[in-house]
Amino acid sequence: SNLIATLEHCEVLHPKIGHALMDLSDLIGGLSRPGRIPQIEVAMDDERCVLIFRNLDPLGAEDEKRLRDFAREKDFIIYLQPGGPETVTPLDEPADLRYRLPGFDLELRFEPGDFTQVNSDINRQMVARAVEMLDPRQDERVLDLFCGIGNFTLPLATRAGEVVGVEGAAELVARARENARRNGLENVRFHVANLYEELQEPWLKERFHKVLLDPPRSGAQEVLGHLPRMGVERILYVSCYPGTLARDAGELVHRHGYRLLSAGVMDMFPHTAHVESIALFEKGGK
């Protein structure tokens, strides 16, 4: 949209940032070249809030001082991003971001540029529900595709005999491995693989009882054909876009012999038209 509206607050965002929009507007307006700050990303853990300023030009000393004063006064941590995602760096001390999954006695660490769910309360409920629905047992092996930093992988590992997580971003896999180590989980492995390309990975030849899929909006169509060959009996599909979930559900049911057991939605994005969906499939039966 080309329509620009002035917002004094935003109910979609966490209150800490949603109620600070006018303060942010004043901050940007006071910089020497406000038009060269096209976006601000937000990263939050259970206690801290990071603002990532996309700066198209280097900031001068006076602008950096303004940012520092703002961060100190409003209790934010500020990062700058002069280029691509790999250029995200703290203005001063780096943030030690982490969130807890108390139902599993887990704590996951992440970096400001990492993907995490925007709604921590709903995420905790979603993880608990996903593990309950997939129902991993001590004698079972579980595969978690699009695993990220281990948001589902590590909770599953507290119940299953072994869990394998696969993710396309090497930096997220590194974080997932570190999170497993920090939480004392030794029955989990992680691999880096682009799940949208033709796969020839060794883990494809392994057997898994259950699979969790949590793909981006584009869905998981490219990996679905591998699941029956791995002996997968149960699939839990978590989706942020109902359109691709419906497409992939049709393929699982009509091409690969799974049946839909249950499905529902979670209000991950309050005050918006978007939802997080969850669907459970089982091999065979009627």
* Catalytic site positions: 240
Asked if 65 contacts 55 with a C-beta cutoff of 8 angstroms, the reply is: no
Q: Find the radius of gyration of the CA atoms of the chain.
A: 21
Q: How far apart are CA 216 and CA 48, in angstroms?
A: 26
Asked if 40 contacts 34 with a C-beta cutoff of 8 angstroms, the reply is: no
What are the helix and strand counts (H, E) for the chain?
9, 13
- Burial classification of residue 234, based on how many CB atoms lie within 10 Å of its CB (0-12 exposed, 13-18 middle, 19 or more buried): buried
Please list the residues that pair with 166 across neighbouring strands: 145, 191
Q: How far apart are CA 259 and CA 220, in angstroms?
A: 17
Asked if 230 contacts 143 with a C-beta cutoff of 8 angstroms, the reply is: yes
> Residue 86 carries which DSSP code?
G
> Residue 41 carries which DSSP code?
E
- Which contiguous run of DSSP H or E holds residue 259? strand 258-266
